[in-house]
A = this chain, B = another copy of it.
Amino acid sequence: MPLIFRIRYSVTPLQDVILPTPSSKVLKYLIQSGKVLPSLRDLIASRDKYKLIFISHLGSNQRRIFQTNGSLKTVKKGTRLSSTIAFSTETNVLTEIVDEGVFDTVYGKFHLKIEDVEIVDVEKLNKGVENYMKDNIVVRFISPAILSSKVLLPPSLSERYKKIDAGYSTLPSVGLIVAYAYKTYCNLIGKKEIDVRAFKLGVLSNALSRIVGYDLHPVTVTIGEDSKGNLRKARGVMGWIEFDIPEERLKRRVLRYLLSSSYFGIGKSRGIGFGEVAVEFRKLEEEKK
C-alpha cells in the first residue's frame, strides 16, 4: 500500500509581507521554483481532479487565513505562521526534506522550519477504522470546501447535462463528501474506472446516514486571479457536520475514505488549500426516538 506524507512547517516572514490569495501560494511557489520538495513539482502541475497533494493556507492560532473578498492580508515581520503539505508519491522525497531554511519568494523572504513529519502507510490507516466503528463521525471544514453538485450526477447522464453549470454545493451532503473522498482514495491506491461506484456510494451514503448535528454556512472565496488580474471567486462551505452510518459495511468503507481525506482534503482546489478537513470521532450517544 502507498505511503502518505504530511509535513507541518512553521513559516515566518522576515519582513512585513502582503500574503498572496490564497495564502497557500507561498509554499506552492517554493515547490514550483524547486526550492522546497522539488520532486512535487509534477504533482502540483497535474490537472488530475483528484491529485494526491494538499498545500494548506497559511495559519495562525489554529486558524487558516483565507480571503473571502479579495482584501489584502498583511502580516508583520516575525509573525509565526504554520502550513501543512500532504502528498503521496512514488518518488523518494525523503532526501529532499530539509529541516530549516530561509527562502526568497515573490511574496517576500520567509523562514521555514519543519515542525513534524508524519509518514503513514495506507494499510495501517485502514486498520485504524475498527477503532471508530462505534463512534459518530464529525467532518470539520478547516478551510472552505468547494464541492461540485454534479459529482453526484449519474455518470450515464453526464453527457446529457454537460452544458448545465450547477455550480457548487454550499450545503454538503454526506454522500457528496464521501464521493469526493472515495475518488481521492481510489487515486491513492491506483484503482481506475470508478465513476459509477462513486455515484452509487454517494447515493447510498446519503440514504443511510443519520445526521446528528451540524453548523454550516456558505462562504464566498477567492481562489486566485485570472490572466487579467480579475479575482476568481467560488462558493464554499465552512463549519462541521456530525453523522453516523448505521450500516456496518458501508460505515467501514466511508471511514476508510475519510481517514485518507483527512490528509488530502475534500473537494476542489485542494492543491491550494481548500477543503482542508479534520475528521473527528464522538462516542455514539443513546439516541431517543
Within 8 Å by CB of A208, from B153, B212, B218, B233, lies B153
Whether A90 sits at the interface, judged by CB under 8 Å, is no
Q: Which chain B residues lie closer than 8 Å to A47 at the CB level? A: none
Binary B-proximity of A156-171 (CB < 8 A = 1, otherwise 0): 0100010011111111
Of the listed stretches A75-83, A116-124, A199-207, chain B binds A199-207
Main secondary structure of the interface of A (DSSP, over half): mixed
Smallest Cβ distance from A102 to chain B, in angstroms? 38
Contact at B170–A211, with CB atoms within 8 Å?
yes
> Given B170, B208, B213, B216, which contacts A149 in the complex, CB threshold below 8 Å?
B208
The residue of chain B having its C-beta at the shortest distance from the C-beta of A151 within the complex is: B207
**A to B CB contacts below 8 Å, 29 in the list:** A149-B209, A150-B208, A151-B207, A152-B203, A152-B207, A153-B204, A154-B203, A157-B204, A157-B207, A164-B208, A166-B207, A166-B209, A167-B211, A169-B211, A170-B212, A170-B213, A170-B214, A171-B173, A171-B211, A171-B216, A173-B173, A203-B203, A211-B218, A211-B235, A214-B216, A215-B217, A232-B289, A233-B288, A233-B289
